[in-house]
Amino acid sequence: MKWNDSLNIAITSLKINKTRSFLTILGIVIGIASVIAVISVGEGAQTLILKQIMALGPNNVYIEPGPLDIQRTNMRGGEMAQQLMEGMGVKTLTLKDLEAIEKDPLVERVAPIVTMVSRVIYQNNDKRATIFGTTPAYNQIFNVQTILGSDFTDFDVQSRAKVAVLGYKISEDLFKEENPIGKTIRIKETNFKVIGVMEEQGGQSFLSFDEQIYVPITTAQEFLLGINYVQSSIAKIISQDKIEEAMETIRLILRERHNIYNPEGDLSKDDFKVISGKETAEMMSTITDILTLLLSSIAAIALVVGGIGIMNIMLVSVAERTKEIGLRKAVGARKKDILYQFLMESVVLTAIGGVIGILMGILFSYLLGIVMTMSLEIQWYYVISPSSIILALSVAAGIGIIFGIYPSRKAAELSPIEALRYE
Amino acid sequence: MLFEIENLYKIYGNHSVKTPALQGVSFKVAEGEFLSIMGPSGSGKSTLMHIMSLLDRPTQGKCKFEGKSIDDFDDDELARIRNKKMGFVFQSFNLLPKTSVFDNVRLPLVYTDFPKETQKEMVRQSLKSVGIFHRASHFPNQLSGGEQQKTAIARAIVNHPSVIFADEPTGNLDSKAGEQIMGIFQRLNDEGHTVILVTHERYTALMAKRMILLKDGKIVSDELVKSRRYAQDGLIK
């Protein structure tokens, strides 16, 4: 028997039961479309995050206090993210450490950071904002300019000046039409004089610069937090190909300053972490990978349900056509001819479902991208990778074979006499 | 010899309940014969035909087709032999619904290696030979019973088989259509086809050249038909 004869028989039989075939195909369409859409959203999210991390500066290195957990020296991205959060409470990194690092020729600038979230009050207006205690290096590293007034200076840092520079949006929220320069805002019982407003960065970052308030780090340490250490810091390296070298240099400087004897460079012995933007990106993509996998598994359930639908309909088809199977066997069909005939039928069902599902999935992903862009006010990246289409197609074909094989074998094993006698 | 049946037994059922359908049947069929196997229902005639047509296997005894025992073949090889050398006509026609007369007749050829054009030519010849060519593109539900059975006969002879099995071919037809169908079988036999007919009607059985009478799984008589009946309306319209 030729394969195109099998195909013709399969198509004819599917045409005879149009509604039934349509509903069965629909099950596969939904499954495949949701897998495609979920993978697309996952990849879109990943692209978005990676672009933002890279936008923050490919030359940047993050220096964080606190050791790598000994139990987790082989940890993966997800755990790394957790550690970054935990590192906030560790007191081992000081401004003096960072000043020493900034003197290294490989390092262009170092911005120490302490942060807190607090209410900010101006007259009757009351907003929550992220307060960044840092130095002028911060806005220089990210190349953000003021549109009103000016950024605070190194002198402001040394003198613990109570001055603040506002992000664009927080400034609008607090001052509306008013000129904020020279006005006084209140953060945690302390009055700050507004000396500048930063230019608008656009709402496309999860680290929304526009909603941050910058104050000198010394002021924040003393008046807002009551601490004398640094929670985090960003160092800008002179060039991208010097990053590895610079990271090692920074580690050596800190080991010496912290009296850590660690000639073998065992990172778990350090009381600090030096992480590159690239590593941060990898860590974030691990997180989105996990999310994508999780969501795809849920979508895959829809696919399995579709497959069960195929099996069900194939069993019905075999039962209905028992007599036909008997006849075909009587006139010379071998077991494998019957097997292929029914297998072809289920593969045709899933293949049609697969192709329509892919088209629907692409459409869904596209629409989702539009919705995301509008609702989250971000530039969504619409990604359909060829690998997800190949995956979906092979999964569809696989389902056709896996869920078709049992009914098809049942048909192939029928005894011709009993099948002919069947009414 | 086309068929050599030796001491054939077929027993249905399991260890506790055994139902014998054939109990020691022996006979031979030469090429070109027109044999009718007759008997009341339950006599084992269908079982015998199933074994001869390689659809079933005996419990005991030998069934040789063209000198070779069917025990020597597996199911797929038997399917090949049926495909090349046997034709089947059933009481209830067994045409595929929603499939044209042409494609119904082509069915056995689907399982051969003939090129498509050869297949089509074989189908056309076969349709012409039973006088149903003008209905080639019709569907079975648009045909009369007689026309449906003619289609089935065309399907049975499309592969130029050496033997045609007909299981109660007139059972679902009125007498006129039945007569016509029997006429076709007689003509096919005259043209050299071996025909093995299973029937419970003496009237139909008498149209064969030889008649085997079965009862309770045993041969009661095996003789040539002395006053053979010829179908009155054997001409094809």
CB A146 within 8 A of CB A199: yes
Given pLDDT bands bounded at 50, 70 and 90, which one contains residue A84? Answer: low
DSSP string for A56-98? T-TTEEEEEESPPPGGGTT--HHHHHHHHHHGGG-----HHHH
Backbone angles phi, psi at A308, to 5 degrees: -65, -35
Given pLDDT bands bounded at 50, 70 and 90, which one contains residue A362? Answer: very high
| ipTM at complex level | 0.92
Give mean pLDDT, residues A334-360: 91
CB A98 within 8 A of CB A110: yes
Chain B residues in contact with A2 by the CB 8 A cut-off are 110
Interface size A-B, in CB pairs within 8 Å, comes to 56
Strand partners of residue A187? A120, A190
List the alpha helices (DSSP H) in B3-115: 45-52, 75-85, 101-110
**Residue of chain B whose alpha carbon sits nearest to that of A332:** B83
Confidence at residue B87, expressed as pLDDT on a 0 to 100 scale: 95
CB half-sphere exposure, B18, CA atoms < 13 A: 8
CB A338 within 8 A of CB A412: yes
Confidence at residue B236, expressed as pLDDT on a 0 to 100 scale: 42
B interface with A, Cβ–Cβ < 8 A, is 50, 53, 55-56, 75-76, 79-80, 82-84, 88, 90, 94, 96, 98-99, 107-108, 110-112, 155, 159
Task: Reply yes or no on whether the pLDDT at A372 is more than 50.
Answer: yes
Tokens of B171: 């059972």
Condensed to tens digits (0 to 9), the pLDDT of residues A271-288 reads 888 888 777 778 788 888
Give mean pLDDT, residues A38-64: 82
Mean pLDDT, all residues of chain B: 91
Q: Which residues contact B73 (CB under 8 A, 6 or more apart)?
A: B54, B81
Q: Burial of A63 by CB count in 10 Å (0-12 exposed, 13-18 middle, 19+ buried)?
A: buried
Given pLDDT bands bounded at 50, 70 and 90, which one contains residue A92? Answer: confident
> Count of residues for chain A?
423
| Distance in Å, alpha carbon of B202 to nearest chain A alpha carbon | 24
| Distance in Å, alpha carbon of A351 to nearest chain B alpha carbon | 24
Mean pLDDT, all residues of chain A: 85
Confidence at residue A371, expressed as pLDDT on a 0 to 100 scale: 87
A interface with B, Cβ–Cβ < 8 A, is 1-2, 5, 12, 16, 323-324, 326-337, 416-417, 420
Task: Reply yes or no on whether the pLDDT at B237 is more than 70.
Answer: no
Given pLDDT bands bounded at 50, 70 and 90, which one contains residue A202? Answer: low
Q: Hey, what amino acid is at B143? A: L
**CA distance readout (Å), A29 to A33, A304, A352, B136:** 6, 12, 8, 38
Task: Reply yes or no on whether the pLDDT at A72 is more than 50.
Answer: no
Q: Which of B56, B84, B110 lies closest to A5 in CB terms?
A: B110
Task: Reply yes or no on whether the pLDDT at A77 is more than 60.
Answer: no
Task: Reply yes or no on whether the pLDDT at A222 is more than 50.
Answer: yes
Which letter, b or e, does each residue of A94-103 get, where b requires 16 or more Cβ atoms within 10 Å of its Cβ? bbebbebbbe
Condensed to tens digits (0 to 9), the pLDDT of residues A121-130 reads 998 888 888 8
CB A81 within 8 A of CB A281: no
Element (H, E) at B154: helix B145-157
Q: Which of B56, B90, B108 lies closest to A332 in CB terms?
A: B108
**Residue of chain A whose alpha carbon sits nearest to that of B93:** A327
Confidence at residue A85, expressed as pLDDT on a 0 to 100 scale: 54
| Distance in Å, alpha carbon of B12 to nearest chain A alpha carbon | 13
Give mean pLDDT, residues B29-50: 92
Condensed to tens digits (0 to 9), the pLDDT of residues B188-225 reads 999 999 999 999 988 899 999 999 999 999 999 999 99
Confidence at residue A71, expressed as pLDDT on a 0 to 100 scale: 43
Hey, which of A273-277, A395-399, B40-44, B86-90 has the most confident mean pLDDT? B86-90
Give mean pLDDT, residues A262-266: 80
Q: Burial of A15 by CB count in 10 Å (0-12 exposed, 13-18 middle, 19+ buried)?
A: exposed
Q: Which of A1, A331, A335 lies closest to B76 in CB terms?
A: A335
Tokens of A190: 């302390």
CB B186 within 8 A of CB B170: no
CB A361 within 8 A of CB A32: yes
Chain A residues in contact with B80 by the CB 8 A cut-off are 332, 334
Given pLDDT bands bounded at 50, 70 and 90, which one contains residue A423? Answer: low
DSSP string for A376-414? H-S-------HHHHHHHHHHHHHHHHHHHHHHHHHHHH-
Cβ B111–A331 below 8 Å, yes or no? yes
**pTM tops 0.80:** no
Q: Which of A5, A323, A417 lies closest to B50 in CB terms?
A: A417
Q: What is residue A221's DSSP assignment?
A: I
Task: Reply yes or no on whether the pLDDT at A14 is more than 90.
Answer: no
What is the sign of the dihedral through the CA atoms of A29, A30, A32 and A33? positive
Tokens of A176: 């509306």
Q: Which of A5, A332, A336 lies closest to B82 in CB terms?
A: A332
Condensed to tens digits (0 to 9), the pLDDT of residues A303-346 reads 888 889 899 999 999 999 899 999 999 999 999 999 999 999 99
Tokens of A6: 């099998």
Among the listed residues B132, B89, B139, B144, the one whose alpha carbon sits nearest the alpha carbon of residue B237:
B132
Residue predicted with more confidence, A81 or B58 = B58
CB A116 within 8 A of CB A225: yes
| Distance in Å, alpha carbon of A5 to nearest chain B alpha carbon | 7
Given pLDDT bands bounded at 50, 70 and 90, which one contains residue A192? Answer: very high
| Distance in Å, alpha carbon of B57 to nearest chain A alpha carbon | 11
Task: Reply yes or no on whether the pLDDT at A204 is more than 60.
Answer: no
| Distance in Å, alpha carbon of B203 to nearest chain A alpha carbon | 25
What is the sign of the dihedral through the CA atoms of A245, A246, A248 and A249? positive
**Residue of chain B whose alpha carbon sits nearest to that of A15:** B98
Tokens of A394: 């092979």
Cβ A16–B98 below 8 Å, yes or no? yes
